Chain A
Amino acid sequence: MNLLRETWVVFVRALRLSLRNPVWVVIGLIQPLLYLALFGPLLKRVVEAAPSLPPGDAWKIFVPGLLVQLGVFGTSFVGFGLIAEYRAGVIERMRVTTAHRVALLGGRMLRDVLVLLVQAVLLTAVAIPFGLRTSVSGALLGVATVGLLGAAFSALSYAAALRLKSEDALAPLLNGIAIPLLLLSGILLPMTLAPTWLQRLSDLNPVKHIVDGLRALFRGDVASTATMWGLVDTIGLLVIGLYVGTRTFRRESA
């Protein structure tokens, strides 16, 4: 009970800070919209010319990819905000209170997930005039999956930030992980276009299966194996994120 109340206090505080300085929220939103407007038309041609692509039109391939990109990239950088708070003494100040350590993490994660969900819904809605045709339930499930994915990366980002306590160390770490993850996930173009060795490599990447799952959802294949694997991998990442995150926040002098 206390945990929920404390999580709520941390969440509201974090949300207030985001709304007061919405630059990052807006940048996170504009970026996928630019992809939609400037890269989408290009992709449409490619998809039409490539018979090896999975069924579904270009937007059903492209929008799920953008959503996953938003989920991974948008939330990976939340750790920078935490380092700023740490520098200001906010984390220490909250650590001397009776608040549950998990609330200090959970409240911030909830804010990140909420911001992400708003961005994801907007992105999907804006894609409709571009030509996206998908089932409402499929899209909603897709957006929800992205929310869970974002929660995982937000927790991991906070854990890394609290361990490193330095922007200069966090930035290369995040780029070093997020960029290969995205390149090997077939976000822009499905991995079925890749040579075999690249496909094998990308099979090891959970984000690839999540993108595939999301594409199945947008096609309306809610009960497919692709959907299932996407969900399993999302939940797996979330479990890892929560484990590492709570462990880090509980650590001495974290």
Chain B
Amino acid sequence: MITARALSRTFQTRTGTVEAVRGIELDVAAGEIVGFLGPNGAGKTTTLRMLTTLLVPTAGEATVAGCDLRRDPVGVRRQIGYVAQGGAAYAEALAGEELVDQARLYGLPAARAAEQARILFTQLDLDGLWKRTCKSLSGGQRRRLDIALGLVHSPALVFLDEPSTGLDPQSRANLWNHIRRLREDLGTTVFLTTHYLDEADALCDRVLVIDHGTIVAAGSPEELKRSINGDAVLLTLADRAHAEDARRIVAALEDAGSPATDGNQVQVRVPHGASVLPGLLRDLDAHGIGLAAVEVRRPTLDDVFLSVTGRSLRDDSLVA
């Protein structure tokens, strides 16, 4: 559905050249839900704007929905939908009319456009807001209208740029279901960007991690997590004076990674966290090291993110 080779985009600014996207390689199969995960400024939006014909790449090639990006942009547009990060509805316009007009611009006849718009209003929980001006909608309602604007012509491939920003948990879950239904019922291919690890984990068949304009990791959430060497064992000590002793003990565990300490907490990665725990607890006890809490964490996408980018996407992450 999408193949991109060495796709790049640089911007000239007053302060110099910005290499927003540097040689991205992409292969997305029909019917896949692919997540594009990366920190602010990684190049997600720029990549999407190139793939949706809004921005001409400075280098590289891409085929989107069977059409060459450079030679047949109209062919690409015919088959894709795009939900921009910054929204798409005009403040003064009526929500329902914006949606119908968008469908009409995609070539739907008036009656079908109206019907399609009504269906999406119901599916995205916008019932009763048809005659409201867009400026009078709440942030989440407007975001759902943006999403409807990108889906109204039932495209075979949709690009969603951070679709769930500003949505409450229930709307987010509803959106995820909607996206899954699109794939199941219509075979729609979905390419979305997100900052939310749980979203990538729960929704995406495959995750691409992008940083500084290049893809630094790719795979299903399971594969990516498996690539992280083992589980994290996190000990919270009763007394931080024992941190050094505890560190030495966990470092001696079989196949353990190098432990990290932070105050009274010690974290280490081991292949099978749960099975080393009994022995470890006995050892610690034998050395007179009291514990306030023990936690074994399966690897998360944030661990993946951390290991490939050196940064965390979570703001509450504790030990590096």
Please report the C-alpha to C-alpha distance between residue A13 and residue B96 in the assembled complex, in whole angstroms: 12
Closest to A254 in B: B54
Chain B residues positioned under 8 Å from A93 (CB to CB): 82, 84, 88, 102, 149
Could you tell me if B86 and A89 are in contact, using CB atoms closer than 8 angstroms? Answer: yes
Chain B residues positioned under 8 Å from A253 (CB to CB): 49, 54-56
1/0 contact string of B46-86 vs chain A (CB within 8 Å): 00010011111000000000000000001001101110101
Chain B residues positioned under 8 Å from A95 (CB to CB): 54
Could you tell me if A96 and B77 are in contact, using CB atoms closer than 8 angstroms? Answer: yes
Chain A residues positioned under 8 Å from B146 (CB to CB): 89
Q: In the assembled complex, how far is the CB of residue A103 from the closest CB belonging to chain B, in whole angstroms?
A: 8
Chain A residues positioned under 8 Å from B81 (CB to CB): 96
Closest to A89 in B: B88
Chain B residues positioned under 8 Å from A9 (CB to CB): 101, 104-105
Chain A residues positioned under 8 Å from B90 (CB to CB): 17, 84-85, 88, 90
Judged by a CB distance under 8 angstroms, whether A20 is at the interface is yes
Known interface pairs A9-B105, A97-B106, A98-B106. Does A92 touch B97 (Cβ–Cβ under 8 Å)?
Answer: no
Closest to B91 in A: A88
Chain B residues positioned under 8 Å from A17 (CB to CB): 90, 92-93
Could you tell me if A89 and B101 are in contact, using CB atoms closer than 8 angstroms? Answer: no
Closest to A87 in B: B86
Q: Which of B55, B56, B78, B105 contacts A6 (CB 8 A)?
A: B105
Judged by a CB distance under 8 angstroms, whether A16 is at the interface is yes
Could you tell me if A92 and B54 are in contact, using CB atoms closer than 8 angstroms? Answer: yes
Judged by a CB distance under 8 angstroms, whether A52 is at the interface is no
Known interface pairs A13-B97, A13-B101, A88-B88. Does A96 touch B78 (Cβ–Cβ under 8 Å)?
Answer: no
Please report the C-alpha to C-alpha distance between residue A235 and residue B120 in the assembled complex, in whole angstroms: 45
Judged by a CB distance under 8 angstroms, whether A99 is at the interface is yes
1/0 contact string of A3-19 vs chain B (CB within 8 Å): 00010011011001100
Number of A-B contacts (CB under 8 A): 71
Chain A residues positioned under 8 Å from B89 (CB to CB): 88-90
Judged by a CB distance under 8 angstroms, whether A21 is at the interface is yes
Which B residues from 108 to 164 make CB contacts under 8 A with A? 146, 149
Q: Which of B88, B91, B93, B107 contacts A2 (CB 8 A)?
A: B107
Q: In the assembled complex, how far is the CB of residue A35 from the closest CB belonging to chain B, in whole angstroms?
A: 29
Could you tell me if A94 and B105 are in contact, using CB atoms closer than 8 angstroms? Answer: yes
Q: Which of A20, A96, A98 contacts B54 (CB 8 A)?
A: A96
Q: In the assembled complex, how far is the CB of residue B75 from the closest CB belonging to chain A, in whole angstroms?
A: 9
Closest to A2 in B: B107
Judged by a CB distance under 8 angstroms, whether B299 is at the interface is no
Judged by a CB distance under 8 angstroms, whether B187 is at the interface is no
Judged by a CB distance under 8 angstroms, whether A252 is at the interface is yes
Judged by a CB distance under 8 angstroms, whether B271 is at the interface is no
Which A residues from 1 to 59 make CB contacts under 8 A with B? 2, 6, 9-10, 12-13, 16-17, 20-21
Q: List 23 A-B contacts (CB under 8 A).
A: A2-B107, A9-B101, A10-B105, A12-B101, A16-B93, A17-B90, A21-B92, A88-B87, A89-B84, A89-B87, A89-B88, A90-B88, A90-B90, A92-B84, A92-B88, A96-B82, A98-B74, A98-B105, A98-B107, A99-B105, A252-B56, A253-B54, A253-B55
Task: Given contacts A253-B49, A253-B55, list 8 more A-B pairs with CB under 8 A.
Answer: A6-B105, A89-B88, A92-B88, A93-B149, A96-B81, A98-B74, A98-B106, A99-B106
B interface residues, Cβ below 8 angstroms from A: 49, 52-56, 74, 77-78, 80-82, 84, 86-93, 97, 101-102, 104-107, 146, 149
The 8 closest A-B pairs by CB, nearest first: A93-B88, A89-B88, A97-B105, A99-B105, A9-B104, A96-B82, A252-B56, A13-B101
